[in-house]
Structure formats: C-alpha cells, structure tokens
Amino acid sequence: MTDAPSDDAKKIDALLAVMARLRAPEGGCPWDLEQTFHTIAPYTIEEAYEVADAIERGDMADLRDELGDLLFQVVFHAQMAREAGLFAFGDVAEAISEKMIRRHPHVFADAGARDAEAQTEAWEDQKAEERSARGADSLLADVPAGLPGMTRAVKLQKRAARVGFDWPEAGAVIDKVAEEAAELREAAETSDRDHVEEEFGDLLFVLANLARHLKVDPETALRRANEKFVRRFCHIEKTYAARGDNLAEASLDDMEALWDEAKVMEKAAGR
C-alpha cells in the first residue's frame, strides 16, 4: 500500500520533529546530544549493510525497518548540519533531486533514449564533468576512502579504466592473480610482516580487478561465501551436538567429512 505524496510529507515532517526533539538542548536525549558526524558515521555504514542483508535474505518486512533505520541516519546528519548552520534535510533532498534530473536527461530533458549500458557511461561522463567543475586534480580524487576496501578497489580501477589503464580481458588478470599469489608465497617465507601485508593487499587488489572484469561484485561474492561457510560449519556443530560429542575434540578428517556432507545436502536442496 502506498501513501499519497502529502501523507509522505507529513510522515517525513514527523520524523524530522522526532530528531529535533532528541537533539533538543533542554529535555533531549543525552546520548544523541553527544554525537557528532564522526561518531555517527560508523552507524550509518552499519545500517547500510543491514539494508543489504535484509535484501539478501528476501525479508521485506525487515527491509522496511532497516530502510527506516538508514533514513534516520540521514535525518540525524541533517539535524546536526542544521544546528551548525551548514544545511538542512530539505537541502539534502533538493540536492539529490537536482542531481538525478541532471544525470538523467533522457528522462527529464530531450536527450535520446538510452539502454542501461549507455546510461552508465553517460553517468560517468556527467560525474567527470562535475569533478572538473569542482577543480578536482585527479580522476580518483572523489572515490571515498571510507568505502569497504574491495568496493573502493573496484571503483578506483573503473576510473583508471576510463582512460585505458586496464587489462584487455579477464584472462590477463587471472595471470596476474597467479603472479601476485606467488609473490605472497615468497613473502610468507620471510619474517617481514609488513612485506607480507603489502603482498596480501596486492593480491586482494588484483582479485577485485578480476571481479570487475567478470562483472561480479566482490563484496556480494564474499558475503555469499561467508554465509556458505556459516551453513556448513553449523551442520558440523549440529551433528556433533546430536551425537553428544565435544566438537573441540573432533578430528579434522571427521569435520571435513561432515563439511562435504553439508555440500552434498546443499546441492540436493538446489543451493
């Protein structure tokens, strides 16, 4: 069920009023009053991940709640900005509306129709123009440092690829993965932990590039791998609990056999 625009506006106004009350110097919440942009930022990132998790699980009721939590983060930042005389929630909404109209001339102006690929290219062109207008001194200047590492790696590589700094195809990247893995193996044989970390980072970076060439989101792929690990390890735990055995005393061979059993069960279930 959808609300009329006027109902949406009333509900947003009510949320803004709740936020203002929480930050009121007299009678507000002490915790909310202590917060700053920096202290709230980790919660903002956490809520975005919880939105992604609800989507991954297909839980639409939870998605509604998590989107509310994420919206509250936007409102919180906007309230602090309003108190500092910087901007308000309305300015945030206006800025993103203007940006979406500007970046979609095929919808809001007289530009020709575009397919998804053409729109992506045009979007990047528009962003490049905006960077130039701001006087950015590098193609990579506005790739946020606070992004998850793999996500930022992909974005950096995409930017560089726009001017031809890229491998021609995925096979060449796979060769580079092997090269970086060999360098990591050599580093691991030393006692230089800084060198090991550097080589490990190089391997992750080239794996992010491989994900880009294969059109795979590395964060999504890793989340799936994490969940698969949880499912299979839980099968091991449950089996040992059902037996009345102590998992801490289990042999690796027995645990690996149960791991393989979980794989077979997942395959039969179509996972």
Q: Are 260 and 236 in contact (CB under 8 A)?
A: no
Contact by Cβ (8 Å): 157, 212? yes
**Integer Cα distance of 141 and 158 in angstroms:** 13
Closest CA to 125 of 180, 33, 111: 111
Residue 143 and residue 77 share a domain: no
Q: Domain check: are 151 and 70 in the same one?
A: no
* Statement to judge: residues 31 and 92 lie in one domain: yes
Does residue 120 lie in a domain region?
Answer: no
Any domain includes 91: yes
Query: For residue 115, what pLDDT band results from cuts at 50, 70 and 90?
Result: low
Q: Any residues with CB less than 8 A from the CB of 107 and at least 6 apart, and which?
A: none
| pLDDT-above-70 percentage for the chain | 88
Q: Over the stretch 51-104, which tens digit does the pLDDT of each residue have?
A: 988 998 899 999 999 999 999 999 999 999 999 999 999 999 999 999 888 888
Which of 77-91, 127-141, 156-170 is predicted least confidently?
127-141
- The pLDDT assigned to 132 comes to 65
46 and 96, same domain (yes or no) = yes
Domain, as residue range, for 167: 138-216
Torsion of CA 10, 60, 120, 44, to 10 degrees: 70
Domain assignment present for residue 112? The answer is no
114 is a domain residue = no
Residues 261 and 189 in one domain: no
Contact predicate 263/232, CB 8 Å: yes
- Res 181: pLDDT: 97
Contacts of 42 (CB under 8 A, 6+ apart): none
Q: Which DSSP letter does residue 110 get? A: S
Helix (H, G, I), strand (E, B), or coil: what is residue 109?
Answer: coil
Residue 129 lies in a domain: no
Q: What are phi and psi of 181, to 5 degrees?
A: -65, -40
Q: Looking at the structure, do residues 40 and 97 belong to the same domain, yes or no? A: yes
Same domain, 231 and 204: no
Round to whole Å and give the CA distance between 254 and 241: 14
Residues 81 and 94 in one domain: yes
Total structural domains within the chain? 3
Instruction: Tell which of 78, 102, 126 closes a domain.
Output: 102
- Residue-wise pLDDT for 242-266, tens only, equals 999 999 999 999 999 999 999 999 9
Instruction: Check which CATH number belongs to the domain holding 206 and give it.
Output: 1.10.287.1080
The verdict on residue 233 lying in a domain is: yes
Q: Are residues 208 and 155 in the same domain?
A: yes
Q: What average pLDDT score do residues 185-204 get?
A: 95
* Position 115 in a domain: no
Does this model's pTM top 0.85? no
Q: Is residue 44 part of a domain?
A: yes
Q: Are residues 247 and 195 in the same domain?
A: no
Instruction: List, in order, residues 6 or more apart from 28 with CB less than 8 Å away.
Output: 21, 22
Indicate whether 153 and 96 sit together in one domain: no
